[in-house]
């Protein structure tokens, strides 16, 4: 019969201490770099975008890739790269942890549009409020230690 799977991951991670260290005018360079990491792992990137202090990724993982390894590789490689780019002089690392939310394939276009529209979205809602809302919508209990 073969093996079949379709898992969309909405991945969210932030800069250390949520500092605004990713200038929006330079963020496309970072997103292209992360896109290359994802492509080299034989995973599929549907959308990437973010703000000065966090990133959203919508991707599908190859079945041989563990989520924790995937996130570690993206965060480690991009952190090393960012620290060597003069366009990101204030970047001092990613915060520990991440959010990985799963969605059905039917929700793909909604998620792509949500991630594409981060700049407009954050005119009305802070990252902390957004993350809390997304976690709670997935039935995840929020750990208050990580929210100011």
Q: What is the pLDDT of residue 93?
A: 97
Q: Is the dihedral of CA 132, 137, 142, 146 positive or negative?
A: negative
Q: Is the pLDDT of residue 6 over 90?
A: no
Angle in degrees, 0-180, between the axes of helices 27-40 and 67-83, rounded to the nearest 10: 140
Q: What is the pLDDT of residue 32?
A: 98
Kindly report the number of other CB atoms within 10 A of residue 91's CB atom: 20
Q: What is the pLDDT of residue 59?
A: 97
Q: Which CATH architecture describes the domain 8-146?
A: 2-Layer Sandwich (3.30)
Q: What is the pTM of this model?
A: 0.93
Report the distance separating Cα 104 and Cα 23, nearest Å.
32
Q: What is the pLDDT of residues 94-110, one digit of tens each?
A: 999 999 999 999 999 99
Q: What is the pLDDT of residues 40-61, one digit of tens each?
A: 988 999 999 999 999 999 999 8
Burial 105-129 (b: 16+ CB within 10 A, else e): eeebeebeebbeebeeebeeeebee
Report the distance separating Cα 51 and Cα 118, nearest Å.
7
Question: Of 54, 36, 53, which is closest to residue 45 (Cα–Cα)?
Answer: 36
């Amino acid at each position: 019969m073969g093996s079949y799977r379709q898992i969309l991951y909405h991945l969210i991670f932030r800069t250390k201490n949520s500092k605004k260290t990713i200038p929006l005018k330079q963020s496309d360079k970072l997103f292209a770099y992360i896109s290359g990491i994802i492509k080299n792992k034989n995973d599929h990137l549907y959308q990437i975008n973010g703000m000065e202090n966090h990133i959203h990724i919508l991707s599908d993982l190859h079945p041989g890739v563990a989520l924790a390894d995937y996130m570690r590789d993206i965060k480690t490689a991009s952190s090393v790269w960012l620290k060597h780019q003069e366009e990101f002089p204030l970047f001092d690392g990613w915060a520990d942890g991440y959010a990985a939310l799963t969605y059905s394939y039917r929700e793909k276009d909604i998620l792509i549009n949500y991630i594409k529209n981060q700049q407009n979205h954050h005119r009305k809602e802070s990252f902390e409020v957004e993350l809390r809302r997304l976690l709670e919508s997935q039935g995840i209990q929020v750990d208050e230690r990580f929210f100011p």
